[in-house]
Amino acid sequence: MQLSMYQASAPVFSKGLRALLGILKKADAHAVARGIEPAALLQARLYPDMLPFTRQIHLCTDFAKGAVARLAGSEPPSFQDVETTFPELIARVEKTIAAVGGFTAPQVDGSEDRDITLIRRGETSVVKGQAYLLEQAMPNFYFHLTTAFAILRHNGVEIGKKDFLGIA
């Protein structure tokens, strides 16, 4: 059986986002239970030159919603990147899950050879849909998801592989 572009994108992003939702809820509960100021986790970084936790969540959700929308030939939904609390980040992830879930297989399937136009730092590039999904969107999504997970784990939040995989 052949794997479709829809099967390789929307359900995969949705599963990762649901795992992220669980991780965020555990981090929020961890801070409350231990009397930790949430900002200590929300602004944490793995290294000084890396982006803070909140920005990792912004980017993770941006890659998920942006990829599926672009593959469907739609303009990606725009979020403001203003979330600074666990409840706000949780709401953003829920909004992203809804956005990704709003696309159907017929909209995304067949996008392997669709031209995807990207503008980064003022530079425009065009890539084919399959290359975009597999070589850019998916790796970036997992990079930011993994970094967010690592920041929380490094700061003592009791999460593990099952949480990351969304099977906890």
d(CA 89, CA 53): 10
> Which pTM does this prediction carry?
0.95
* Domain range annotation of the chain: 5-165
CA angle, residues 79, 85, 69, in degrees to nearest 5:
25
Share of the chain above pLDDT 90, in %: 95
* pLDDT band for position 1 (cuts 50, 70, 90): low
- Which residue in the block uniquely carries the two structure tokens 């031209």? 115
Mean pLDDT over 126-133 rounds to: 97
Share of the chain above pLDDT 70, in %: 99
Mean pLDDT over 115-138 rounds to: 95
Q: Render pLDDT for 55-72 as a digit per residue (tens, 0 to 9).
A: 999 999 999 999 999 999
Say which DSSP state 117 is in.
E
Supply the pLDDT for residue 2: 85
Of 95, 75, 85, 131, whose CA–CA distance to 17 is shortest? 95
Pick the CATH number of 5-165 from 3.90.550.10, 1.20.1510.10, 1.20.120.450, 3.90.245.10: 1.20.120.450
Supply the pLDDT for residue 84: 95
Write down the mean pLDDT value for the chain.
96
Give the SS3 label for residue 128. Answer: strand
